[in-house]
Structure 1
Amino acid sequence: MTAALQTYHARMQRVLDHIDQHLDDDLDLDALSSVAAFSKFHFHRQFTATFGLSVHRYIQLARMKRASYRLAYSDAESVTDIAMDAGYDAPDAFARAFRQRFGQSPSSFRNSPDWEPWLVAFGPLDNARSKLVRTFTPDDVTIRNVPPTRVAIMEHRGDPATLGDTIRRFIAWRKAGGLHPSTNPTFNVWRSERRPASPSTYSTDLCVGTDQPIEANGEDIKAGEIPGGRCAVLRVVGYTDNLEPAALYLYRDWLPASGEEARDFPIYCQRLSFFPDVGEHEATADVFLPLK
């Protein structure tokens, strides 16, 4: 039964990956049921039963999520181009759908996003992506000797619902300083649980590797260092919004069985490729557990 369930989930995962790879294509039920190797007469019911929303709704939300990320984090693309890529024939139709879902026009969201309705709107999509529990094995973990890395840090303290604003400021600051992700690595250092009992206690550091003097340019930027040493490293490919399952695997499963001991520095990640620069199925991050 376990093997059969894993096979079933793998077939459904193929569908999600296919959707991510072909968001700009005509994703009809015939094509998607063929990817999953399920009967087209039952596939849409199987999809809804597995993920809690229909195939059509899932695709709509995936396209709208990509569009909202481009609006919020990439000022180089026009609203018209973003609307076309989201599958709308005209910017007006995109604007109506966007306002209905988020309570803001695309231009207003680009200038000053209201993240609370955004989080609510994409809750079903995030829940769907989390339905297929990612499994890790000891073979997925490597131990590396990591060199120390000097970083510039922008701290986020408080409600995780406002993290998007901090990310926007961080991206704008590093752009102004010429700290591109291709030349200056990006790290997140987690100093609290992903969903603490009190949202006000949420704490994470957004970091960019740099050896250059830091010019704050009006932002609250600190100089720091990610210490070198031995680390257990787990690579995650696809849907890196939620890296908690990887962190839990390292803490709960891998560490007790390994005979290793954790070092006195928080678990952290290095983001190697980013959505929407790549499809969500290709977004990649390494999760580091510092060891003694």
Structure 2
Amino acid sequence: MNDRFSAAYARRLRCVCEHIERHQDEPLTLEALSRMAHSSPFHFHRQFTAWSGQPLYRYIQWLRLRRASWRLAFNPQDKVIDIALDAGFQNPESFTRAFKTAFGKSPRQFRQTPDWLDWHQRIPKQVFQEQHVMDVKIVDVPRIQVAMLTHRGHPDLVNASAAKFIEWRRTTGLSPVVGSQTFGIAWHDPQSTPPAEFRFDICGSVSQAVPENAFGVVNSEIPAGRCAVVRHQGALDTLSDSVWFLFREWLPGSGETPRDFPVYFQYLNFVHEVAEHELLTDIYLPLV
């Protein structure tokens, strides 16, 4: 297969994956998806398995269970039966069986004590996002007073620290999700930093000083200054691709020099509230 046909083949399958991600709560039939790929159902099933490494029905189920796990962990008000139905299961029993097979815990057990290290080891990685040229803007950022919780340790456990920060927000109301900005400061690259040394700060903007508390949330700030900013749309798993676009593609030809402050993210919405393809994250590269 020459490069032109190979690229067209991959592009069709990526379009199918994007359609699945955007329509997880709708019926997704082999016949309809194979038509999108301009293939017969018989051949498409095999093509998809060879390309993605897993059968079509398993890929769809993993996406639905992945989204369900975030809702279980971060949306305590959502009933398990509603999460099951939204994930395409006809009843809670079949959802529980599939969830336990996938994650080794029942939905209720996962909700009570999510094991994010094990979760990351079990969940298939999303590798189908195509990198596009991105629109980079330079902005002047004012000083932002924040409440900050520092995560130290394995990057796969950041979700546990995020849950702790969310609980602090809920119990104090000092940095409410509505009306407050949410940031993540990436001090280390998880690909090149030993897990024990990894640091990531979770922040929420505040208008008053944060008193001492049992959660370990402290007062801090995001300094004022010029930043290159680019908007990433989609799964947080592929956020690093957009960061590297800034460093590898944009920065060398920009004439700009990075400032002595790490890249940071502003989360405009959250994975337990919207579908992954709707996630919006602004990436800030501080400049001199």
TM normalised by structure 1 equals: 0.91
Q: Which amino acid aligns with 2:143?
A: P
Q: How far, CA to CA, are the matches of 1:39 and 1:216 in structure 2? A: 63
1:5: Cα distance to partner?
5.1
Aligned partner letter, 2:56: V
> What's the CA shift for 1:180?
3.3
Query: Which runs of 5 or more structure 1 residues have no equivalent in the other structure?
Result: none
Per the alignment, residue 273 of structure 1 pairs with 269
Specify the alignment match of 2:44 in structure 1: 43
The one-letter code of the counterpart of 1:271 is Y
- The residue number in structure 1 matching 2:217 is 221
Paired position in structure 2 for 1:284:
280
Distance 1:215 1:33, change over 3 A: farther
Aligned residue in 1 for 2:106? 105
Shift in Å, 1:198: 1.6
Distance across 2 between alignment mates of 1:216 and 1:38 = 61
Kindly provide the amino acid, as one letter, of the partner of residue 274 in structure 1.
Answer: F
Equivalent residues of 1:9, 1:132 under 8 A apart: no
Aligned match of 1:171 in 158, 163, 166? 166
Q: Does 1:71 align with 2:72?
A: yes
Aligned-pair CA distance for 1:28: 0.8
Tell me which of 121, 133, 138 is aligned to 1:136. 133
Q: Which amino acid aligns with 1:147?
A: P
For residues 91-140 of structure 1, the C-alpha deviation after alignment (integer angstroms, 9 at most, x for no partner) is: 22222222222222211111111223211221x2x2xx224442335xx2
TM-score normalised by structure 2 residue count: 0.92
User: How far apart, CA to CA, are the structure 2 residues paired with 1:242 and 1:92?
Assistant: 33
Report matched runs for 1:195-234 at 5 Å: 195-234=191-230
Aligned length: 286
Q: Secondary structure at the match of 2:250?
A: helix
Q: Give 1:197 deviation, angstroms.
A: 4.4
Residue range with higher mean Cα deviation, 249-258 or 215-224: 215-224
Question: What RMSD, in angstroms, separates the aligned Cα atoms of the two structures?
Answer: 1.9
- Alignment CA distance shift 1:210-1:10 (3 Å): farther
Note the residue ranges of structure 2 that are not aligned, 5 or more in a row.
none
Distance 1:3 1:149, change over 3 A: farther
Q: Determine whether 1:91 maps to 2:92.
A: yes
Of 61-70 and 44-53, the range deviating more from structure 2: 44-53
Give 1:2 shift. 6.0
**Alpha-carbon distance, 1:83 to partner:** 1.5
Q: Paired residue for 1:149?
A: 144
Please tell me whether the aligned partners of residues 266 and 281 of structure 2 are also in contact (alpha carbons under 8 angstroms). Answer: yes
Q: Which amino acid aligns with 1:158?
A: G
Q: Secondary structure at the match of 2:277?
A: coil
More deviation, 211-220/222-231: 211-220
SS at match of 2:139: strand
* Distance apart, 1:259 and its partner CA: 0.9
In terms of mean alpha carbon deviation, does 150-159 or 189-198 score higher?
Answer: 189-198
The amino acid across from 2:257 in the alignment is: E
Give the corresponding residue for 1:192: 188
Q: Secondary structure at the match of 1:72?
A: helix
Query: Deviations 1:142-166 (Å, cap 9, x if unpaired)?
Result: 1111222111101000112322211
* Aligned equivalent of 1:82: 83
- Looking at structure 2, the residues matched to 291 and 59 of structure 1 have their Cα atoms a distance apart, in angstroms, of 41
- Go from structure 1 to structure 2 and tell me whether the alpha carbon gap of 1:3 and 1:143 turns closer, same or farther (over 3 Å shift): farther
On the 8 A contact 2:75/2:272 being kept in 1, the answer is: no
